[in-house]
Amino acid sequence: MNLTLCLSLALLAGEASPRHSAELIFPLNNQHNHASGVVEAPNGDLIVSWYRGEGERSSDDVAVYGARRRSGSETWSEPFLMADTPGFPDCNTCMMIDADGRLHLFWPLVIANSWESCITKQRTSTDYDSDGSPKWEGESLVLLKPADFAPAANAELDKLVEKYKLLLTDDLRAEIAEGRKKVAEKLYQRLGWQPRCKPTVLPSGRILLPLYSDTYSLSIMAISDDDGKTWYASEPLLGFGAIQPAVVRRDNGELVAYMRDNGIENRIQTSVSKDDGLTWGPVTGMELANPGSGLDAVRLANGHWALIYNDGVTGRNRLAVSISDDEGQTWKWKRYLEEEPEGSFHYPAIIQGKDGTLHAVYSYSVDGGESMKHAAFNEAWVQAGAAAK
C-alpha cells in the first residue's frame, strides 16, 4: 500500500492517538497584535498574518505582518511586513491559497480612523516560498455595490424593536434611529465592509469572502466567479449584531454561516444559504455561547466540522474547539485550547493541513504583552476531552 493511500485512509478513519502542541509565534510584544490568518503552502510551510500597531483603527501606524514556519521546523521566522499603507491603519487579516496555488491576502484599509470608513484590499502572490514577505504581484480593492437593502433591514429592525422593547434604553433608541438613517444611504451600504474569516471556495470554483460592517453590525458575502479578479455582493445576512461569518458547506450544497454575536443573546448566530451564497435565510442563535468575540470553522477531510470560539457569555479567557460529526446539527466533543482566569485568547483562525493536523492561530494577550499563538492538534485530541455539555 503506497504512502499516499495510507495517508488518505488515516485522514478518513481519524487518528487514534491524541496530538497537541502549542507555541508563541513571537515573544510578547508591547504593541497591539491581533486578527490572524493562516494558510498551509503547497510545500508544507505555514504562513500566518495579523496586524500590529499602537491601537486598531485609531492609530495610523497599524500594519499587516506575517511569519513563516518551515515544513518540519518547530520555530517561526521573525515577523515580516506584509502590507502597510502609510498614514492609514491596515487591520483584520485573512488568507487563502486558490486552486492555482496563488496566495491571497485580504485586509481592510481604514480611511478615517473609523470602522465605517473601511475599504477591503486584496494582494496576490505566486512567489511566496522564499524567506520574508511574499513577492506581491497584484493589489486590488474588493468594492461592493449591494442592491438596496434598506426596506428589508428596516423590517428586521422593526421585529427586533418589538421583541426587545422593554429592554431598550434611550441611548439604544437613538442608535437605532441613526442606523435607520445610514441604512438608507448608498455611501454606507457600499463602504465599511471588512473581512475577518477566511474565504470559502465552492465546488464550482466560486469564492465567498465573508465580510461584515460595524456601521450596521451586519454581514454580507463578497462573491467572485473569476478567481478573485472581480467581486459582487450577496444579499446581506439580516441579523443585527451577527458579524464576522465563517462559512462551511454541507454535502447537500447548503452553506452554514457561523457568526459572532454583537447583540444581546450571547449565542453564536447562524444562517443558511441554499443557492451558493447569493441569499441567506433567517439569522438565529444556536446553543453555543458567545461573548461578542470572533470565531472560525473548518470542514475536515473526513466530513466532520470543527468550530473554534470563546466559550462563555462574558470574557475571552476560554478558547474552545468543538467537533460535529453531523454537519453542525450537534457538537458532541469540546476541548479548551486556553482556559485561564486572566488573559484574552481570541479572534482565532483554523485550517486543516494535508496530513490531517488542525492548525489554530489566535491573538494571545496576557500580563507582559501580546503575541499570536499557534496550536497544532488532531481531532482525536479534541475527542479525548470531556464530551460537550
pLDDT band at 237 (very low <50, low <70, confident <90, very high): very high
Q: Give the integer Cα–Cα distance in Å for 339 and 142.
A: 37
Tell me what pLDDT residue 16 has: 77
CA angle centred on 11, ends 10 and 12, rounded to 5°:
90
Half-sphere exposure of 339 (CA within 13 A, CB side): 8
- Across 20-24, 57-61, 298-302, least confident range: 57-61
CB 328 within 8 A of CB 306: no
Instruction: Compute the distance between CA of residue 194 and CA of residue 319 in angstroms, rounded to an integer.
Output: 23
Above 90 in pLDDT, residue 36?
Answer: yes
Cβ atoms of 39 and 46 within 8 Å: the answer is: yes
Predicted pLDDT at 241: 93
For residues 57 and 227, what is the distance between their CA atoms, to the nearest angstrom?
30
- 191 contacts: CB under 8 Å, gap ≥ 6: 116, 117, 118, 119, 215
Identify the CA nearest to 104 among candidates 115, 120, 84: 120
Q: What is the pLDDT of residue 11?
A: 47
The whole-angstrom separation of Cα 135 and Cα 123 is: 10
Of how many residues is the chain composed? 389
pTM for the complete prediction?
0.94
b/e 99-136 (16+ beta carbons within 10 angstroms → b): eeebbbbbbbbbbeeebbbbbbbbbbbeebbeeebbeb
Confidence check: pLDDT of 1 > 50: no
Question: What are φ and ψ of residue 32, in 5° steps?
Answer: -80, 120
Give the number of other Cβ atoms within 10 Å of residue 77's Cβ. Answer: 17
Of 80-84, 137-141, 147-151, 160-164, least confident by mean pLDDT is 160-164
What is the per-residue pLDDT for 164? 87
Looking at residue 7, what is its pLDDT? 46
Distance CA 308, CA 129 (A): 28
Would you state the pLDDT for residue 90? 98
Q: What is the mean pLDDT of the chain?
A: 94
> Comparing C-alpha atoms, which of 66, 58, 147 is closest to residue 349?
66
Let me know if 160 is exposed, middle or buried by CB neighbors in 10 A (0-12, 13-18, 19+): middle
Domains and CATH numbers, the chain: 20-148+186-387 (2.120.10.10)
H helices present in 128-280, as ranges: 150-163, 170-183, 186-190
Strand-strand pairing, 80-83 and 94-97: unpaired
| Residue found by looking up cell 496586524 in the block | 51
Confidence label for 386 from pLDDT (cuts 50, 70 and 90): low
Q: Which three cell numbers stand for residue 251?
A: 454535502
Q: How confident is the model at residue 65 (pLDDT cuts 50, 70, 90)?
A: very high
pLDDT tens string 297-354:
999 999 999 999 999 999 999 999 999 999 999 999 999 999 999 999 999 999 999 9
| pLDDT mean over 258-275 | 96
- Segment 160-194, tens digit of pLDDT: 889 888 888 999 889 889 989 999 999 999 999 99
pLDDT of residue 246: 98
Residue type, 98: D
The answer to whether 259 and 245 have CB atoms below 8 angstroms apart is yes
Rounded Cα distance, 96 and 200, in Å: 9
Q: What percentage of the chain carries pLDDT values higher than 70?
A: 95
Residue 249: pLDDT above 60?
yes
Q: What pLDDT sits at residue 13?
A: 46
Distance CA 31, CA 54 (A): 5
DSSP string, 296-322: EEEE-TTS-EEEEEE-SSS-S-EEEEE
